[in-house]
Amino acid sequence: MKLPAARGDLSAALIGTLERDPDPSPGAVDLPSGTGGADPFGDDVQLALFLAYELHYRGFDGVDDGWEWHPEVLRLRGALERAFLAALRTEVPVHPDVESALDGLLVEPVEAGGITGFLREEGELRHLREYAALRSLYHLKEGDPHAYAIPHLLGRAKAGFVAVEYDEYGSGRADRMHQRLFADLMADLGLDPAYGRYLEEGTPEMLATVNLMSLFGLHRALRGAMVGHYASVEITSSPASRRMTQAMERLGAGPAAIHFYAEHVEADAVHEQVMRREVVGGLLADEPELAGDVVFGIDATEWLEDRLARSMITPWREGRSALRAP
């Protein structure tokens, strides 16, 4: 992945730093110590946070790997995380308990299934392509943010979590990894499947959904929120994937594009039960005090996904692109 253009002072400072060789000596790196009041859901904060997290994944062309654990980069990342997390805790309405939060995931979203319902009922091929370009910022590393949480879990929760991850990674077959299947989907839709290719086009709403996974996965203190997030993803995935399969078929997408979502219809129906009984159930049996964090993880995920859906559906209905750079 190439470093993108900056979107504000925070991302400009971080990009300028990453373009140099890392110097571990005190005072050699001068990054902001806070966010300066920048919008925690806006372009600048979300891009800077995405860049800081990406150092823990595949990094960037021309960026020294030594920046991954540089204390000044971590200090800035911590400030960005605190601002993002505080904003989520302020803005996201939460359910009173885990059961009501999980049950809420089974209620059909408004507008005939949200973004996937739009694509199934009235979407055009250009909408599918934009949706896939945005989603590629996660799906080309599908499963990776969640893998960071595995060492933080115990017993049934860990075993169930790993069982779901095993399927995400193609049950040990590289050609069946969901990352690989999404790259094939992109090629079928005439998109460039290179990792991170559409970062410049990525909206802050899309970046926030990806950053949430890294935030929860990298922090042991947020393991309950990660379990709630992963439960939300897996429980809602099967019906959403069915709608996407129907959208792909209606619009004449290629077989690889259809296969990606068809694969998720069956797999994630099984994952739903594993997540409910083993992962969520196992976690709360061992650590019942994390129930509030599980609820927060579920509700924060759904809140950001609803926000993302609105950011795409609104411009599409107005005849505009949903990308930052169409």
More confident residue, 235 or 194: 194
Q: Is the pLDDT of residue 108 over 90?
A: no
Band (pLDDT 50/70/90 cuts) for residue 110 is very low
Per-domain boundaries in the chain = 9-91, 98-317
Burial (0-12, 13-18, 19+ Cβ within 10 Å), 156: middle
Q: Is the pLDDT of residue 131 over 50?
A: yes
User: What percent of the chain is modeled with pLDDT above 70?
Assistant: 97
Three-state secondary structure string covering the chain: CCCCCCCCHHHHHHHHHHCCCCCCCCCCCCCCCCCCCCCCCCHHHHHHHHHHHHCCCCCCCCCCHHHCCCHHHHHHHHHHHHHHHHHHHHHCCCCCCHHHHHHHCCCCCHHHHHHHHHHHHCCCHHHHHHHHHHHHHHHCCCCHHHHCCHHHCCHHHHHHHHHHHHHHCHHHCHHHCHHHHHHHHHHHCCCCCCCCCCCCCCCHHHHHHHHHHHHHHHCHHHHHHHHHHHHHHHHHHHHHHHHHHHHHHHCCCCHHHHHHHHHHHHHHHHHHHHHHHHHHHHHHHHCHHHHHHHHHHHHHHHHHHHHHHHHHHHHHHCCCCCCCCC
Mean pLDDT of 56-67: 97
Q: Is the pLDDT of residue 292 over 60?
A: yes
234 CB-near residues (< 8 Å, 6+ apart):
164, 268, 271, 272, 274, 275
**What are the tokens at 219?**
């922090």
Band (pLDDT 50/70/90 cuts) for residue 268 is low
Give 142-155 pLDDT, tens digit per residue.
Answer: 999 999 999 999 99
Give 218-264 pLDDT, tens digit per residue.
Answer: 999 999 999 999 999 999 888 899 999 999 999 999 999 999 999 88
Q: What Å distances lie between residue 109 and 112, 135, 199, 302, 305, CA to CA?
A: 6, 19, 28, 10, 11
* Residue the block writes with tokens 């992962």: 279
Q: Is the pLDDT of residue 269 over 90?
A: no
**What are the tokens at 217?**
């996965």
CATH number of 98-317: 1.20.910.10
More confident residue, 28 or 65: 65
Cα distance between residue 258 and residue 252, in whole Å: 9
Burial (0-12, 13-18, 19+ Cβ within 10 Å), 17: buried
**Side-chain-side CA neighbours of residue 183 (13 Å):** 15
Q: Is the pLDDT of residue 54 over 80?
A: yes
**According to the model, what pLDDT value does residue 109 have?**
52
CB 206, CB 139: distance < 8 Å = no
Cα distance between residue 185 and residue 218, in whole Å: 29
